[in-house]
Amino acid sequence: MAYLAKAKGVSRRTAQRTVQQAYALIREDIDQANIQRSDLVAQGIHLLMESARLGLSQNNPGAVVGAVAQLDKLCGLSPARH
């Protein structure tokens, strides 16, 4: 949101509202298109894998760790903690 605020010259709060509205529109589009959850998960996995690959190519370990952490949450890759 900091990027959006700076790029468009708006406050962070306005940028946050804009992003929230965009997410709402995406959810509405998904509901109307009757997209299956498995399709969304597959798209999410692809996006996160590409993000990790890009992070590696740019020598950005933080991006790689973040992408892998989100993949873990999405796919349940870690062993269960007790």
pLDDT tens per residue across span 23-47: 888 888 877 877 777 888 898 999 9
Residues 43 and 26 in one domain: no
Contact 67, 51 (CB under 8 A): yes
Each residue's pLDDT tens digit, 50-63:
999 999 999 999 99
Q: Which domain holds residue 68?
A: 36-82
Q: Are residues 54 and 77 in the same domain?
A: yes
Q: Do 7 and 46 belong to one domain? A: no
Instruction: Indicate if 27 and 51 belong to the same structural domain.
Output: no
Rounded Cα gap, residues 76 and 11, in angstroms: 36
Residue 9 and residue 29 share a domain:
yes
How many structural domains is the chain composed of?
Answer: 2
* Predicted model pTM: 0.56
CA-CA distances (angstroms) from residue 14 to 25, 28, 35?
Answer: 17, 21, 30
Are 20 and 39 in contact, with CB atoms under 8 Å apart?
A: no
Please indicate, yes or no, whether residues 44 and 82 belong to a single structural domain of this protein: yes
Residues 45 and 80 in one domain: yes
Instruction: Say yes or no: 31 and 46 in one domain.
Output: no
